[in-house]
A and B are shown apart, each in its own frame.
Chain A
Amino acid sequence: MIYGVAILAGCFLVGTVVGELIGAVMGVDSNVGGVGVAMLLLIIVVDKLVKSGKIAKASLDGLSFWNQMYIPVVIAMAASQNVLGALTGGPLAIIAGIAVVVISWACVPLLSGKQKEKESSYSNAAIRGEADA
């Protein structure tokens, strides 16, 4: 199980380093897309390992554990937000924040085009374990 967690940690750290490098090249003092890079890396690495049969089920369980810890982490994240700051930021902050979300919502269908929900193409392979974990 620790191997799976280690693979995850390795991809995370490589992605973070790459993100810092991209940031440095762009002249921004922040991690640019490091998490996205790490995600793509993990998808590719796990795909290769599974296809070549070099990964044990126990290792996949290590990945699966953190996969399912995601919602608890998000709840802890929500509980650590500066909600008071959002509510007391004055009318400009509140109105601009609401407007940007509503207008962006309206733009989603324009950009994504007409997509059908294709259950078979992704849902089976997606988050393993309980459906609503």
Chain B
Amino acid sequence: MLDMIKNVFVDNGLVTAFLVVGLTMWIAYFISGKLTKGRIHGSAIAIVLGLVLAYIGGVVTEGTKGISDISFMAGMGFLGGSMLRDFAIVATSFGANFDEIKKAGFRGVISLFLGVVLSFAIGAIFAFMFGYRNSVDIATIGAGTATYIVGPVTGAALGASSEVIAISIAAGLVKSVLVMVGTPFIAKYIGLNNPMTAMVYGGLMGTTSGVAGGLAATDAKLVPYGAVTATFYTGLGCLLAPTVLFLVTDLIF
């Protein structure tokens, strides 16, 4: 009997995921309304609950894909995977104001370049402080603090060791999780309540999942503006980190 129920869940993974996410959101909005009296937004709590599920999935299966590594939760990986994530992000631009995007376009582009270079530099400095002296290692860890995709791409291009690549991925993951959870709390201190700041935010932070999740929990109306710049960041990072930024690193160390 239990096996039969489990098989139904496994065979209908995406539908199961709809149910799980729906329940998660219901619990989150219940907590938000009853325990925090609406002070902490329901979607912020829902995202934290999602991360808790991911942690449980990681502990139970020792896999890398959070809760979706558990067989009857595999649909969560599909629902939250890159295809539907990007599809839904594109859908958020329905209703976004094109004039706002044009107005903020220039600062958005500046923030992209600054965001990649700044993240790389901070990562590189910490790598140096922790005793790494090899420019390949330093550049790979610097790239990882850009995003957890730029790190391994750079590491592979430069021939870094798998240990260093693992550190770079972890640094990118820490960034992504922290942006997801922290954005709603920091928003009011950095003036994150308008389209232009959201575009700058997307460019500086760059982690698409972090920015999209964090803005969703702050104010869903800001998501398209942050996402439109953040989606360029990883590409720019993959372009700059193994080339220009590595050469600069190599000159310094």
Which A residues lie at the B interface, using CB under 8 A?
A: 8-9, 11-12, 15-16, 19, 22-23, 26-36, 38-40, 42-44, 46-47, 63-64, 66-67, 69-101, 103-109, 111-118, 121-123, 125-128, 132-133
Contacts and interface: CB of A to CB of B under 8 A. Distances in A.
A28 B107 CA distance: 24
Given A78-B180, A79-B57, A39 B93 contact: yes
A112 B177 contact: no
Contact of A77 (B85, B92, B141): B85
A39 B173 CA distance: 25
B231 A35 contact: yes
Given A90-B170, A108-B197, A125-B97, A71 B25 contact: yes
Given A81-B177, A112-B200, A126 B171 contact: no
A24 to B, nearest CB: 11
Contacts of A95: 126
- Say whether chain B's binding surface is mostly helix, strand, loop, or mixed: helix
A128 B175 CA distance: 30
A39 B58 CA distance: 33
Contacts of B114: 107, 111
Interface string B11-28: 000000110111011000
B161 interface: no
Contacts of B205: 101, 104
B241 to A, nearest CB: 10
Contact of B80 (A29, A79, A112): A79
A43 B171 CA distance: 34
Contact of B190 (A26, A99, A109, A125): A109
Contacts of A72: 18, 21-22, 25, 79
Nearest to B164: A92
Contacts of A133: 220
Interface string B115-133: 1001100110011001000
A31 B235 contact: yes
Given A28-B239, A86-B177, A92-B171, A74 B216 contact: yes
Interface residues of B, number: 116
30 contacts: A28-B153, A30-B149, A31-B235, A33-B231, A35-B208, A39-B224, A43-B98, A63-B94, A66-B88, A70-B89, A74-B212, A75-B21, A76-B77, A77-B80, A79-B24, A79-B57, A82-B173, A83-B55, A89-B169, A89-B174, A93-B168, A93-B171, A97-B178, A100-B145, A101-B175, A104-B118, A111-B110, A115-B194, A116-B194, A132-B42
B66 A79 contact: yes
Interface stretch (B1-9, B44-52, B245-253): B44-52
B54 interface: yes
Contacts, number: 357
A22 to B, nearest CB: 7
Contacts of B122: 96, 99-100, 103
Interface in B179-217: 179-180, 182, 186, 190-197, 200-201, 204-205, 208-209, 212-213, 216
B238 to A, nearest CB: 5
Nearest to A103: B122
Nearest to B18: A72
A47 B204 CA distance: 29
A85 B55 CA distance: 9
A78 B178 contact: no
B175 A111 contact: no
B108 to A, nearest CB: 10
